Amino acid sequence: MMFNSLTFVGFAAVFFAGWWLVRGRVGRPIAWSYLVVGSLVFYGWSRWTSTIVLAAIVLVSFGSGRLIARWPGRRSVLALAIAGVLGPLLVLKYLDFLIAQVNALGELAGAGVHVGAVGLAAPLGISFFTLSAISYAIDVHTEEIQPTRNVMEHAAFLAVFPVLISGPIVRGHQVLPQLAELPATTAEQRWAGLKQITYGLVKKCIIADHIAGFTSEIYDLNAPPASSGLWWFVTALYAIQIYCDFSGYTDIALGLGRWMGLALPENFRHPYLSTSIREFWGRWNISFSSWLRDYIYFPLARVWGGKFGAVSAVMVTFVVSGLWHGAAWTFVVWGMLHGVLLIVEHWSGWDRRIKALPGGRILATLIVFFTISLVLVVFRANDLGQAWSIFKIMFSFERTPYSWVMRDRTSFHEPTWLLLPAVFVIVEARHLVDFDSSKFAVAIRDRTKLGWVVIALLLLACVYLRGRASPFIYAGF
């Protein structure tokens, strides 16, 4: 079930009506069970077999937490626990990729052996809840958190439906104390939740889905149009699309969390306002990048030591990051490019030098945005060959007019496009106002007494101004 579907609207209405009724009137185990049952309905709606994988990971994670606590400090138990929760992800998501690589190597070596693909389908969101389960095992091992004692509480932690499909990746210390309390929601929480859900829907349904129609049409053409201007435009648009798609999902997830009384971790902080690649990774998919930092980069850098060790740790971390997004070489190369960019930035200090110039922060922001957008070409391309063709066209500065592409081959003429830049700026400006604690910002907020009217209009717009419905990009990871 996707947040941008009619089915979800019906589900949410029933779920929250029940939640607000039962919360505070029943004990926590029943409340956890209610959360878990609702989450299983949400998750299994389109493919019920997915719930088996989810339930298996929840049970393995719960059991391994108990075992780790029983034999504290034993690395073998931790390794077993990690293997137990990671196994389904590796098999379901990467087995066919591995087989394809083995076949390709065999073909190169002239072995003449071909292993058939297994054709397993990874359930939605498996990459997200698997990482949560791994962090739980490690955190119990390091005694940062206590293991859960109730399987329903544990299931509610790993499988609470807002974060199930596309995160943010939650950790035990963030969610378990809240589940132990489960306070009733306040009016402020509900209002903040509704605003966040609405902004998320606007980002997804109005901005990302409109852009997605156009960028997909261009990327899916048999031959990339030979116009560098068009590709620079599409590249910038895709950067906006993926941000609005993913952060839109996160906003909806966080808003739903607020409606449950849970404060889920923020996942985005205006990443395109970053003035360095390092800063970008502190603002983009924060729960994932901090997970990589804490559970892969730091341990590797500690073990390997020195400059070379740090560089190697960065590269390994970003290759893992790429592979986490998908079993394809485009993602691996995308991750490696980010690793290289980070290392080059660290050694050259280009960002500091540029920021020291007059207007340097703006210049650095633009450089970072276009760098990130360029690397996203590899991320979005159907294969590395297409990415290479696109780069060649972009940097040939070919001035072929592309009006025919706009007019005849895409839906670019849709008048709603006129709204997109304004909506994007407004949505982002809203973030700036919310995060700014200056008196000016407070004054603006205080004047918005009719904010509920704006939210109602935006909700209506999400239905009737929406673009072609497309799945959330990160749900596929």
Partner 1 sequence: MGGTPWSEPTFRALALAGGLFAIWFGAGPFPQHQAETQTQLRHEWRQCADVVLVGDSELGWGLHPEVIEDELHGAYRVVNFGYLNISLLNDAYMAGAEAVLDPGTPHRTMIIGVTSSNVSLLSAQNHRFEREARDIAAARHAGHPPSVDLDWHDELDLRLRPRGLCGLLWNLCSSGSQQPIGYNGHLPVFTSWHDETARIPEEIDTLNPEEPVYDERTVEPLVRRIHELHEHGIDVIAYVAPDIPAIAAVSGPRGYDPAWYERRLRGAGAVVVAYPPDLTTFDGVHLDPPSARRFSHLLGRVVAAAMPPRAAVPAGRCAWPLETGHP
- Does position 102 interact with partner 1 (CB under 8 A)? The reply is no
Instruction: Give the interface segment with partner 1, choosing from 68-76, 184-192, 263-271, 374-382 (CB under 8 A).
Output: 184-192
414 touches partner 1 (CB under 8 A)? yes
For residues 293, 297, 299, 305, the Cα torsion angle rounded to the nearest 10 degrees is -140
Does residue number 120 form part of the binding site for partner 1 (CB under 8 A)?
no
Does position 117 interact with partner 1 (CB under 8 A)? The reply is: no
Backbone φ and ψ of 305, nearest 5°: 65, 165
294 near partner 1 (CB under 8 A):
no
- The single residue among 269, 416, 430, 431 that binds partner 1, judged by CB under 8 A, is 416
Q: Say how far apart CA 372 and CA 60 lie, in whole Å.
A: 38
309 vs 286: CA distance, rounded Å: 24
The answer to whether residue 193 forms part of the interface with partner 1 (CB under 8 A) is: yes
Listed ranges 314-322, 347-355, 391-399, 447-455: which one lies at the site for partner 1 (CB under 8 A): 447-455
Q: Does 461 bind partner 1 (CB under 8 A)?
A: yes
Q: Under the criterion CB under 8 A, does residue 389 sit at the interface with partner 1?
A: no
What is the nearest approach in angstroms of partner 1 to the Cβ of residue 416? 5
| Segment near partner 1 (CB under 8 A); pick from 22-30, 105-113, 277-285, 409-417 | 409-417
Residue 145 CA to residue 41 CA, distance in Å, equals 29
Any contact of residue 455 with partner 1 (CB under 8 A)? yes
Q: Which is nearer to partner 1, 108 or 422 (CB)?
A: 422
Of 330 and 410, CB closest to partner 1: 410
Q: Give 24 or 451: the residue with its C-beta nearer to partner 1.
A: 451
The answer to whether residue 426 forms part of the interface with partner 1 (CB under 8 A) is no
Q: Which residues of 24-53 are buried (b: 16+ CB within 10 A; e: fewer)?
A: eeeeeeebbbbbbebbbbbbbbeeeebbeb
Q: Is 45 in the site for partner 1 (CB under 8 A)?
A: no
One-letter amino acid of 384? L
Is residue 186 within the footprint of partner 1 (CB under 8 A)?
yes
* Residue 434 binding partner 1, by CB under 8 A: no
In the list 45, 94, 191, 233, the residue contacting partner 1 (rule: CB under 8 A) is 191
- Say whether residue 386 binds partner 1 (CB under 8 A): no
Residue 106 to residues 184, 328, 330, Cα–Cα distance (Å): 60, 18, 21
Structure tokens that stand for 345 in this block = 């930035």
Question: Closer to partner 1 at the Cβ: 5 or 400?
Answer: 5
* Window 220-239: residues binding partner 1 (CB under 8 A): 220-222
Q: How many alpha carbons fall within 13 Å on the CB side of residue 415?
A: 0
Out of 411, 426, 431, 434, which residue is the one contacting partner 1 (CB under 8 A)? 411
Least distance in Å: CB of 317 to partner 1? 37
Q: Return d(Cα 236, Cα 249) in angstroms, integer.
A: 20
Nearer to partner 1, 392 or 466 (CB): 466
Shortest distance, position 124 Cβ to partner 1, whole Å: 16
Q: Is 464 in the site for partner 1 (CB under 8 A)?
A: yes
Name the minimum Å distance from CB 256 to partner 1. 13
Is residue 190 a contact point for partner 1 (CB under 8 A)?
Answer: yes
**446 lies in the site for partner 1, by CB under 8 A:** no
Distance CA 125, CA 243 (A): 18
Among 141, 154, 210, 325, the active-site one is 325
408 is a site residue for partner 1 (CB under 8 A): yes
17 counts as binding partner 1 under rule CB under 8 A: no
Shortest reach from residue 159's CB to partner 1, in Å: 26
Residue with smaller CB distance to partner 1, 66 or 466? 466
Instruction: Please pick, from the candidates 59, 367, 444, 469, the single residue that binds partner 1 as defined by CB under 8 A.
Output: 469
Smallest gap from Cβ 460 to partner 1, in A, equals: 5
The verdict on whether 325 is a catalytic residue reads: yes
- Print burial letters for 140-149: b (CB count within 10 Å at least 16), e (below 16): bbeeebebbe
Q: Does 187 bind partner 1 (CB under 8 A)?
A: yes
Say whether residue 468 binds partner 1 (CB under 8 A).
yes
Verify binding: residue 410, partner 1, rule CB under 8 A: yes
Q: Are 472 and 2 in contact (CB under 8 A)?
A: yes
Binding site for partner 1 (CB under 8 A): 6, 186-188, 190-191, 193-194, 213, 217, 220-222, 408-411, 414-416, 418-419, 451-453, 455-457, 459-461, 463-469
Give the residue numbers annotated as catalytic, written as ranges. Answer: 325
